[in-house]
Structure 1
Amino acid sequence: MFPELQNLLSPERHQFTLITDWKTDGSFLVHHFLSHYLKSHYKVCFVALAQSFSHYSLIAQKLGVSLINARDQGQLVFLEGLKSYTSLLFSDTPEAESQNPLRFLRTSSDLQPLYDFVYAALTPSAGEEWKCSVLIVDDVGLLISLGVTTLQILDFIHYCRASVCCELQGDLVCLVRRDEEDEDSELLARSLCHQSGLILQAEGLSTGFCKDVHGQLTITHKKQNRSAIYQYKIQDKSVSFFAPGLSTAVL
């Protein structure tokens, strides 16, 4: 986790946190939440649609977390979307397909199988003593490129928010990438903004690349009706945040 970032965020619980990025890579925010929740002894269901398990594991290791140990101990339930989708395409076994959380991609139906997977993963079992339940999705917008409609994704997030945040008293974190030239992704991002309680908007600098400033982050706390803008620099194992115009690049 990045302690400096955690200090900037709201301590509110049971909320939906939306991460968006535009002309930059906001995945460092996903890595922050993943490592933070695991270190805080939360039960985490990670729906990874963007990268492989090894990718997330390597970065988590730099942040002091072992995803392999967390998975083996039952603290982390990891759905590797790339692997599941490949298995779905080349599977000739009906039984294997019936257990695949992404099987809706073959039938163009709603995302009920994925929701059922998430709910089963986060519902407390006898003997479990995790602090709380958390669902992280990276990147939900990729489902659009696989033929899922924006409305189906919004329904899925709505039911996940109702179950995770309300029923299970947990948190939901979701990343969606913005593209002004893609109407579906823009509609999805704008619609999810209305459902979320905390919005983290990562953007590239309007002035272009700078080695001392990698981007700008806008943090919006909707319940508190306030926003703050920071610029940041990503380092090997940390991220530095500062007010716009206060980086060493302009001193």
Structure 2
Amino acid sequence: RWGCNLSMHRKSERLHFFDLQGFPGGTQGGAIADSLAQLYSAVQRVVETCRAGENAGRFTVMIDDVSLLEVAANGSADDVLDFLHYCVTLTSEMNCSLVVLIHEDIYSSEDGVGLLAHLRYIADLVIKAAPLSTGLATDVHGQLSVVNKGMLIEQRPAKGQKVWSFHFKVKENGADFFYPGSRH
């Protein structure tokens, strides 16, 4: 039903896209830390500009996906974590959100477990999409779990729900989300 015209948002400067291959050293063998520092500087400029521009208000810095940062950093999880810590600091100073997409299947090896664990530790909200534990179904394509760790800090666990579970069905131009068992 609903869609989002990303081209229109990009033209109106409500969406900014950074291609890692466009930063010197990213995937071309330059200095990794310098490349991520340049990327951070570019993100910082956009965030500061958006705070003062006509589109001022709440906004989100989204990284899709963190494994590409690790590729750009030639596998250096420390450089990626440094970059992400700078982004967390920026978003807390500028009152915006940071969203990082993680493909858990990429981090199933022991090498990536440290990065994944660290990202889960610093996250306020963890959203995990997975196939159904019971296998394939025609009317449900997967399950989504949402853990709001920030709510635990703000309230006692007994007052607010901290974990939500949904099922989803992928459609041509989006997805439907619903509570388990609410569809027949």
* Range class of TM-score, shorter chain: 0.7 to 0.9
CA distance in 2, matches of 1:177, 1:169: 26
Q: Does 1:109 align with 2:32?
A: yes
Contact 2:3 2:174 in 1 (8 A): no
CA distance in 2, matches of 1:158, 1:211: 41
Measured after TM superposition, the shift of residue 155 of structure 1 is 1.2
Q: TM-score, normalised by structure 1?
A: 0.60
Aligned partner of 1:148 in structure 2 is: 75
Q: In 2 relative to 1, CA 247–108 (structure 1 residues): closer, same or farther, beyond 3 Å?
A: farther
CA distance in 2, matches of 1:193, 1:65: 29
Q: How many residues align?
A: 169
Task: List per-residue Cα deviations over 1:146-184 (Å, max 9, x = no partner).
Answer: 4131121111111101112x1111111110101264223
Aligned partner of 2:45 in structure 1 is: 120
SS at match of 1:78: coil
Contact 1:199 1:219 in 2 (8 A): yes
Aligned partner of 1:228 in structure 2 is: 164
Measured after TM superposition, the shift of residue 71 of structure 1 is 1.6
SS at match of 1:217: strand
Q: Does 1:67 align with 2:6?
A: yes
Matches within 5 A, 1:79-98: 79-81=18-20, 85=21
Q: In 2 relative to 1, CA 198–127 (structure 1 residues): closer, same or farther, beyond 3 Å?
A: closer
**Greater RCO, CA 8 A, separation 6+:** 1
Q: Does 1:176 align with 2:176?
A: no
SS at match of 2:85: helix
Q: Does 1:213 align with 2:105?
A: no
Q: In 2 relative to 1, CA 104–197 (structure 1 residues): closer, same or farther, beyond 3 Å?
A: same
Measured after TM superposition, the shift of residue 239 of structure 1 is 2.6
Contact 1:115 1:156 in 2 (8 A): yes
Measured after TM superposition, the shift of residue 127 of structure 1 is 4.5
Contact 1:231 1:243 in 2 (8 A): yes
Specify which of 113, 129, 150 is matched with residue 202 of structure 1: 129
Which amino acid is the alignment partner of residue 63 of structure 2?
V
Which amino acid is the alignment partner of residue 168 of structure 1?
M
Structure 2 unaligned segments of length 5 or more: list them.
153-161
Measured after TM superposition, the shift of residue 72 of structure 1 is 1.8
Contact 1:202 1:218 in 2 (8 A): yes
SS at match of 1:223: helix
Structure 1 unaligned segments of length 5 or more: list them.
1-61, 86-99
SS at match of 2:144: strand
CA distance in 2, matches of 1:140, 1:223: 21
Segment drifting more, 221-230 vs 237-246: 237-246
SS at match of 2:150: coil
Aligned partner of 1:240 in structure 2 is: 176
Task: List per-residue Cα deviations over 1:94-149 (Å, max 9, x = no partner).
Answer: xxxxxx43534422432211111111111126543422332111011123344131
Measured after TM superposition, the shift of residue 246 of structure 1 is 4.1
Contact 1:178 1:186 in 2 (8 A): no
